[in-house]
Amino acid sequence: MSSVAQKKGFGAQVWDYLTTVDHKKIAIMYLAAGTLFFAIAGLEALFMRFQLMFPESTFVSAGTFNQLLTMHGTTMLFLAATPLLFAFMNAIVPLQIGARDVAFPFLNSLGFWLFFLGAVFLHLSFFMGGAPDAGWTSYASLSLYSPGHGIDFYVLGLQISGAGTLISGINFIVTIITMRAPGMTFMRMPLFTWTSLVSSTLILFAFPPLTVGLFLMLVDRMFGANFFDHTMGGNTIIWEHLFWIFGHPEVYILVLPAFGLFSEIIPVFARKRLFGYSSMVFATILIGFLGFMVWAHHMFTTGLGATANAIFAVATMTIAVPTGMKVFNWILTIWGGSIKVTVPMLYALGFIPSFVAGGVTGVMQAAAPLDYQLHDSYFIVAHFHYVIVGGIVTALFGAAHFYWPIMFNRALNEKLGVLTFWIFFIGFHLTFFLQHFLGLMGMPRRVFTYMGDQGWDLFNLISTIGAAMMGVGVILLVLNVLISIKSEPLNRRDYWGDGRSLEWALETPLPFYNFKQTPLVRGYDPYWIEKQEGNKEGMVYAEPVGDIHMPNNSILPLIMSIGTFIAAFGALYSPWGDQAIAGTADSVSPGLSVGLIVLGLGITVGAMIARSLKDDLGYHVHVAEIEAIEKDLAQYRATGKKGGNK
């Protein structure tokens, strides 16, 4: 059973990943899948920027541009940022709270496969008649009339991957609440765990409105219903409400874990305790709560009326208060610290001003009268890229450098990392800073081209050059990852030398059960406390060495997800859809359509029944095995050689 000792064949390795329920391996799958979709969406962005480099360019057609635009936004938010954050949550949160896995390892795997197959489904649209083309917001007044199957792919793909996200969110809530080691009270939890908890809670409350909206859109488009069709007594604005009731919390779902990652990085490299811990926790919760009260700021110009606009404007501006608290706390953590500017710290230092710039433009947009001017212009594009790239992407890149030693027992190259940072960071500001002014000069967003000599030409050109630099930065980061594969294993704990929380107390490579004995947490920053007291093991234990109970691997999550994937095709080619009836989209016979749906859902439900009827009690790793594994690991760390095969 030893995890390091065995060399497996390729097939066995693949099978291992298909069936794994280990949070560390699921983290790696999220990381790989998220990076893949990040690269695809990045490429789409580059195509758009090349089209906009010069006025009246014909690099891509208007229709293709709309598809690129939609797929870029949808993919980046749902299929790149979300899984990449889940990768770090999976890899780090159980270690931070002293757990051997998440609360529901089976659901963890199910969450991943639903996300992945939903994402694959969405991307098949490129090869099956065209991608969705109504923007990532897919407003019903536009998307209901989009010919072909693009929007159907969007609706069904997001429905499937959204279910995966919801499942993962619930899993993290339960994990963080119930699986903390003895002594890890709520107010001793590291900030990344806290933000993961709040963010998962937002997922729990925000994804159901999206699911409802997508379902109504599904029956509208594919089964002849009329929820959003005003000519048939429906109401097209309801989609916008449902979407934004989900959509605004979604941006906080993404940015809160990013805040958490920086709250881990900054104290380590300022070599100082996080300033204002309890106010950080409070601000996180407050942001999470307020995030639900502001959705209509995306709809100021739909004509909600002055009262609604005023109330939502004020509510939106209040979010700036807890956000500001956080920014000041980060600055005061750095202030007076003995600062080490490593690559993760560089990203943190770049993050603070960039994110603040995005927050300031956010408050500007929150002023409803001004938003009539800014709405649907490039100013908005600049705003959300400042918060998303400046806040989330920098966090992901910084955290990759920061946590690579724990996740892979290898370090990413510092020099290359610094170079990557500067190229990416400068490229980012070149791309988006000028877009504020493009917006103020009147350039609308989501246009495939523009006329020359309106004063927009130079800024668009510079913006495209910046985008290319960002592309180079990403390629360098991927290169860095590839180089690290060939580098020496680290075989140590506390790679940065100044780790504070529990995950740094563990020696890499980790055994699959993470903790030989459950640790006892004696205060905030437990590893720091133990280091101060000269504890060479990095932690004290809450229990003697005993049998460890671990979950069994299972292929069922993948089978369940494949079932939904098949059913989605049945719905997609439904003969009852408006487009199918109008002859603008191909369809299959009623029998085949219903047959596919029944077959697919049958597979899913069958797998669920199998799971429920057959008790899977997991297995125990006995003390003798634990000791053998620990010995193997120790020998591997000391000599670099894999031990005897047990």
Partner 1 sequence: MAHDTHFEARSQVQQEYYRKENAAKMRSQVTQFAIMILLTLVAFASAVADFAPNFVKPFVLLLAGVQVVQQLYAFMHMEDKKAYHIGVISFFMWGGALIAFTFFLCFLTIIWW
Q: Decide whether 390 or 499 has the Cβ nearer to ligand HEM.
A: 390
Span 278-297, contacts to partner 1 by CB under 8 A: 289, 292-293, 296
- From CA 504, how far away is CA 520, in angstroms rounded? 15
Output the DSSP codes for 238-288: HHHHHHHHHHHHHHHHHHHHHHHHHHHHHHHHHTSPPTTHHHHHHHHHHHH
The listed partner (ligand HEM, partner 1, Cu ion, none) that binds 363, CB under 5 to 8 Å by sort, is: ligand HEM
Give me the 163-202 binding string for partner 1, x by CB under 8 A, dash otherwise.
Answer: ----------x---xx----------------------x-
Told to check if 356 binds partner 1 by CB under 8 A, we report: no
- State how far the Cα of 60 lies from the Cα of 53, in Å rounded to an integer: 12
Segment interacting with partner 1 (CB under 8 A) among 98-106, 122-130, 364-372, 378-386: 98-106
Alpha-carbon span 356 to 362, nearest angstrom:
10
Out of 107, 156, 176, 254, the only residue in the binding site for ligand HEM (CB under 6 A) is 254
The Cα 599–Cα 568 span in angstroms is: 11
**Integer CA distances (angstroms), 566 to 111, 256, 506, in order:** 17, 34, 42
Determine if 383 is a binding residue for Cu ion (CB under 5 A).
no
Provide the minimum distance between the beta carbon of 377 and ligand HEM in the complex, in angstroms, as a whole number: 8
Among 9, 11, 233, 305, binds partner 1 (CB under 8 A): 305
> Measured between alpha carbons, how far is 433 from 385 in angstroms, rounded to an integer?
10
Task: Find the binding residues for partner 1 in span 616-645 (CB under 8 A).
Answer: 616-618
- Compute and round to an integer the Cα radius of gyration of the chain: 25
> Which of 23, 49, 326, 375: binder of ligand HEM (CB under 6 A)?
375
H helix and E strand count, the chain: 22, 4
Q: Does 374 bind ligand HEM (CB under 6 A)?
A: yes
Binding residues for ligand HEM, how many (CB under 6 A)? 25
Which is nearer to ligand HEM, 425 or 524 (by Cβ)? Answer: 425
Strand pairing report for 619-621 and 548-550: antiparallel
Please, what is the minimum distance in Å from the beta carbon of residue 432 to ligand HEM?
13
Q: Which of 431, 413, 433 has its CA nearest to residue 472?
A: 431
Task: For residue 176, state whether it binds ligand HEM (rule: CB under 6 A).
Answer: no
User: Which residues between 265 and 324 bind ligand HEM (CB under 6 A)?
Assistant: 297-298, 316, 319-320, 323
Give the distance from CA 108 to its chain's centroid.
Answer: 15
Give which of Cu ion, partner 1, ligand HEM, none residue 279 binds (C-beta under 5 to 8 Å, depending on kind): none
Q: 36 vs 238, which CB is nearer to partner 1?
A: 238
CA angle 358, 360, 363 (to 5 degrees): 110
Stretch that binds Cu ion, among 99-107, 123-131, 244-252, 382-390 (CB under 5 A): 244-252
Q: Which residues make beta-bridge pairs with 520?
A: 540
Helix (H) or strand (E) holding 519: strand 519-520
Residue (371 or 578) nearer to Cu ion, CB: 371
- Among residues 24, 20, 13, the alpha carbon closest in space to that of 514 is found at 24
Q: Residue 235, interface with partner 1 (CB under 8 A)? A: yes
Residue 492 binding result from Cu ion, partner 1, ligand HEM, none, given CB thresholds of 5 to 8 Å by partner type: none
Tokens at 311, concatenated:
């109330």
| Chain residues that interact with partner 1, rule: CB under 8 A | 100-101, 103, 173, 177-178, 201, 204-205, 235, 237, 241, 245, 289, 292-293, 296, 304-305, 307-308, 311, 549-551, 615-618
